[in-house]
Amino acid sequence: MLIRIAPHDRPERGPEREPSRGRVRRPARGPLRTWLRRAALGAAVLVLVPVLTAGIALRADYAGDYRDGTRTRGRDALWLGHAWVDGRKKDSDVDALAARLRGTGLRDLYVHAGPLEDDGTLPPARYAGAKWLIGAVHRELPGVRVQAWLGDQLATESPDGLDLTRAASRTAVVGSARAIIDAGFEGTHFDLEPLHSGDRDYLALLDRLRTLTRARGVLLSVASHQIDPLPALHTVVGALSGHPKYWSQAYFGEVARRVDQIAVMSYDTALPLQSLYGGYVAEQTALAVEVTPESTDVLMGLPFYHETKPGHLASAETVAAAVRGVRLGLGRKDRDREHFGVALYVDFAATDADWTAYRKGWS
């Protein structure tokens, strides 16, 4: 236990005085103290200079004019909560959703039908309302596809969760996807986290899922981590924190080549200003389209939620800033790309202002 001495209990220690002159003598700094001061200054420079440089770069990425053609391609998506398949939603809710989506570029709905069990299985009771929802959406929104959003925590950073290193777990996930397709869903959308860059077991799972979805004529879609904005940053962050936040661009490309759609979770960035966040989204957009095959849809996530928490500042991560970043990044890298869109996260937290910003800026 650390025992602290109250200020009034500390012995008085005034400045030392020279006996003959009575002048105040400042304690000698000494070589150790001088070295520590210089080391602290050097450390501050090493931290601040890269941060300031990155901030200037992101702000520059947020500047400029839009290029022609950087609007919706009619390939956008919306994440929907579990209430749509567990009996809480009714026909009137589908009518309201349809009214909200008409006139936008929404083509896919990712409906939460999980989560998966930690062994990879999926109880059918979790998506009991699937048949009703799919029929209602097809009736009110012809051409809009309903995909099953399946997720689970991975056992990559703790002993709990889905362990993809086990062949039996991967086989069970494929079986769950097969059951979802049998239930009438037009695709399987997987969000498995935390998923470390370079995970080969995940790629092996995607290979098996792609064989299944191609044979059944449905979509294979995934949510992805953000792309490393600097070479090997994911390695450094992982070593320091034990939680690698980013995928390398090369790994992102490997995943993108195995799926029909890849949705970048381009939010929860910890950036404090809209200009920095928007510039970051512009950079993420450019990095994503650079390594994704033309036949795969790249979807950039828009933050349709307002919870302020570590890693997410709602006042900075706005829909308007994200849309601007998407348009700038797309215009600079591949403005003629057809297989591109945005993905809205999430329906139950969205406000009218979010929908207005999406319509005004992108639709």
> What is this structure's pTM?
0.85
Nearest 5°: CA angle at 107, between 307 and 217? 120
pLDDT mean over 208-235: 92
Six token digits for residue 319: 């829909």
Whole-number Å distance between alpha carbons of 139 and 103: 16
Confidence of residue 25 (pLDDT cuts 50, 70, 90): very low
Q: Quote the pLDDT of residue 35.
A: 61
Q: Does the pLDDT at position 356 exceed 70?
A: yes
Six token digits for residue 161: 């969760």
Q: Quote the pLDDT of residue 342.
A: 99
Q: Quote the pLDDT of residue 256.
A: 99
Question: Which residue in this structure is represented by tokens 């989506």?
Answer: 101
Q: Quote the pLDDT of residue 61.
A: 82
**pLDDT tens digits, 39-67:** 444 443 333 345 445 667 787 888 899 99
Which residues make beta-bridge pairs with 152?
192
Whole-number Å distance between alpha carbons of 69 and 331: 8
pLDDT mean over 68-90: 98
pLDDT mean over 288-300: 98
Q: Quote the pLDDT of residue 38.
A: 53
Q: Does the pLDDT at position 72 exceed 90?
A: yes
| Beta strand segments in 23-143, E | 24-25, 76-80, 106-112
Contact 326, 362 (CB under 8 A): yes
Q: Quote the pLDDT of residue 45.
A: 39
Whole-number Å distance between alpha carbons of 22 and 100: 83
**pLDDT tens digits, 103-142:** 999 999 999 999 999 999 999 999 999 999 999 999 999 9
**pLDDT tens digits, 246-283:** 999 999 999 999 999 999 999 999 999 999 999 999 99
Whole-number Å distance between alpha carbons of 149 and 184: 13
